[in-house]
Chains A and B, each alone.
Chain A
Amino acid sequence: MTDIPFRRRDPDWHPPALAPDYRSSRLRSPHHKLLHYAPTETEMTGPAFGQDMPGPEDHDLLINFAQPGETALGPRIIVHGRLLDENGRALPGKLIEIWQANAGGRYRHRSDGYLAPLDPNFGGCGRCITDAEGKYLFRSVQPGPYPWPNGGNDWRPAHIHFSVFGDGFAQRLITQMYFEGDPHIALCPIVQSIPSEAAIDRLVARFDPGATVPMDIRAYRFDIVLRGRQATVFENRREGL
C-alpha cells in the first residue's frame, strides 16, 4: 500500500507561489519550478498520533482556555465534517489542529496588535483526532473579520485555520475555512489567490441546521480532502461504476 504513490498535485488548483495582490508572497515565492521525483518511503510515511493525544477539552475552544464555569464570548458554533482522501476514503486517526481570532477579530498572539480586545476566556487553538469514519468536531465561537496590512483597506473574511495530517508526509496540508455568505470572501487577496471559483468554494463551510443544537449552538459543515493514492486499474474500474 505504501508503495502506491500519491496523485500529483495540480498546480492550477492550488494558489500559485506568487500572488502579487497578496504582498507577502512577493519575496517568499520561489521562482524556480518545483522539481518532481517519485516519492520514496520518506514521503509516503509520516507521523502518527494516538486517540489519546488530545486532552478531553482540546477540541472545545469555548472552554479550553476559559476560567472554570465560564465560556468564550461570541456566537457559539460547532464546526464539523469528515477528513477524506481523493479516492473518497475516510482518513481515521489523523490529527487536525485549528486556530482562529476571537469573535472581535483579535488573535491571542504576541504579534497581533489589533484594537479589538482579547477575550480572557478564549485562547484560539484546538485539536482533535478523526474518528473511525474520518469525522471531526470542534466547538468554538465564530471568529470576527479583521484588518491586515497589505497596502490598502484589506480585511480578512471570518476564517478558521486548519492544519491536517494524512498517512504520508507528502499529504501535509494547511488551509483556511470560510463561512458561507461572507462578502469579504470575494474581496480577499489571500482567498482570491486560488485560481478557480470551484476550488474556493471547497473552503467555504456551509451552515448546517441539522447539526444545530436547539437553544445551544449553531453548526457549520466543512469536509477536508487530502491527496489520495493513485488508483490501480482494478480499483478504477470498480469505483468508476
Chain B
Amino acid sequence: MTEFRESPSQTAGPYVHIGCMPGVAGIQGMYGDTDPGSEMVQTVCADPVISLEVGVLDGAGAPVCDAMIEIWQAGPEGSFGVTRGFCNWGRAATDAATGVATFETLRPGAIGSQAPHILVWIVARGINLGLMTRIYFDDAPETNARDEVFKIAGDRAGTLVARSVSGGFRHTIRLQGPDETVFFDV
C-alpha cells in the first residue's frame, strides 16, 4: 500500500498568488476576475459582517508579506451547512506591505460543545508544510476555557485568541519566537 501514501508537501513559494489568487498577482482576466474565496459574504446575508484581520510575523518579528491564508468556519448558526449568502471558506493574501490578511466574514456560532472558532491554514515561501491553527474570540473566555482543543493548547492557548476591535477582530500569528502561535497536527 506504500504507493498510496500521501504526496509529500512542498512550499507554496512566493508566487502562490498566481495559481490561487491571480487578481492579487496582477493577472487580469482570469477566473472571471474574481479570486476564489475572496467573497465569503454576499449582500443578501442577514447577519452582521465582521472584519477579521490576521497578521503573520516571522521569527525576527518581521511581517510575512507573501503568505496565503485560508479559513474554514461554521456559520452563525454553528454548522457547516448552507447559510444563505455565506461561504464557509475564505482565502486571502497577506498584504505586501503590512503582512496582514483581511477577511470579511460572519461570526461563527458554537458547534456542539466546541467554542466558536475558525480553522486557519497558512502557506508561504519558507513554509514546507501548510500550518494549521485555530482562532478563538476574546469576548468568550468561559466558553473557550471549556473547549477541548483550546485546553490542549495549555498555557499557550492565549496565542489562539483574537482581540476585539472596532468592526471585528484582530489576530496575530507568530511563526516562531517566545510567543509562537500554537500549530496543530490534526
- Taking Cβ atoms with an 8 Å cutoff, the residues of A that contact B are 6, 8-11, 13-17, 19, 22-32, 34-37, 39-43, 45-47, 55, 58, 64-65, 84-88, 95, 97-99, 107-112, 123-127, 161, 163, 169-170, 172-176, 190-191, 193-194, 198-200, 202-203, 224-228, 239
A-B contact pairs, 26 of them (CB 8 A): A9-B185, A14-B128, A15-B8, A16-B128, A17-B127, A22-B11, A23-B126, A24-B126, A27-B176, A28-B124, A30-B180, A34-B185, A36-B184, A45-B80, A55-B32, A58-B31, A109-B17, A110-B25, A125-B25, A126-B19, A172-B130, A194-B10, A198-B2, A202-B7, A203-B7, A224-B7
Does B27 lie within 8 Å of A28, measured CB to CB?
no
State A198–B88 Cα separation when bound (angstroms). 37
Instruction: For the complex formed, measure the closest distance between the CB of A231 and the CB atoms of chain B, giving whole angstroms.
Output: 10
Q: Which of B31, B112, B126 has the most CB of A within 10 A?
A: B126
Tell me how many residue pairs across A and B have CB atoms closer than 8 Å.
Answer: 241
Instruction: For the complex formed, measure the closest distance between the CB of A145 and the CB atoms of chain B, giving whole angstroms.
Output: 14
Scan residues 35-91 of chain B and give those whose CB is less than 8 A from a CB of chain A. Answer: 36-37, 58-60, 62, 64, 66, 70, 72-74, 80, 87-89
Residues on A with C-beta less than 8 A from B166 are: none
Which residue of chain B has the shortest Cβ distance to A171 in the bound complex? Answer: B6
Instruction: For the complex formed, measure the closest distance between the CB of A106 and the CB atoms of chain B, giving whole angstroms.
Output: 11
Interface secondary structure of B, over-half rule:
loop
List 16 additional A-B contacts (Cβ < 8 Å) besides A9-B129, A109-B14: A11-B185, A17-B128, A28-B58, A29-B127, A29-B128, A30-B175, A31-B180, A36-B186, A41-B112, A42-B72, A58-B31, A86-B5, A175-B9, A194-B8, A203-B7, A228-B4
Which residue of chain A has the shortest Cβ distance to B123 in the bound complex? Answer: A174
Residues on B with C-beta less than 8 A from A28 are: 58-59, 64, 124-127, 175-176
Does A47 lie within 8 Å of B10, measured CB to CB?
no
Does B124 lie within 8 Å of A175, measured CB to CB?
no
State A19–B130 Cα separation when bound (angstroms). 14
State A163–B10 Cα separation when bound (angstroms). 10
Does A27 lie within 8 Å of B58, measured CB to CB?
yes
Knowing A47-B87, A161-B16, A173-B130 are in contact, say whether A65-B30 is a contact too (CB < 8 A).
yes
- Taking Cβ atoms with an 8 Å cutoff, the residues of B that contact A are 1-2, 4-20, 22, 25-27, 29-32, 36-37, 58-60, 62, 64, 66, 70, 72-74, 80, 87-89, 96, 111-112, 114, 117, 119, 121, 123-132, 148-149, 152-153, 156, 175-176, 180-186
Which residue of chain A has the shortest Cβ distance to B117 in the bound complex? Answer: A42
Does B185 lie within 8 Å of A8, measured CB to CB?
yes
Residues on A with C-beta less than 8 A from B87 are: 47
Knowing A29-B126, A109-B15 are in contact, say whether A88-B4 is a contact too (CB < 8 A).
yes
Does A111 lie within 8 Å of B72, measured CB to CB?
no
Which residue of chain A has the shortest Cβ distance to B150 in the bound complex? Answer: A37
Instruction: For the complex formed, measure the closest distance between the CB of B123 and the CB atoms of chain A, giving whole angstroms.
Output: 5
Residues on B with C-beta less than 8 A from A125 are: 18-19, 22, 25, 27, 30
State A6–B185 Cα separation when bound (angstroms). 11
State A85–B6 Cα separation when bound (angstroms). 7
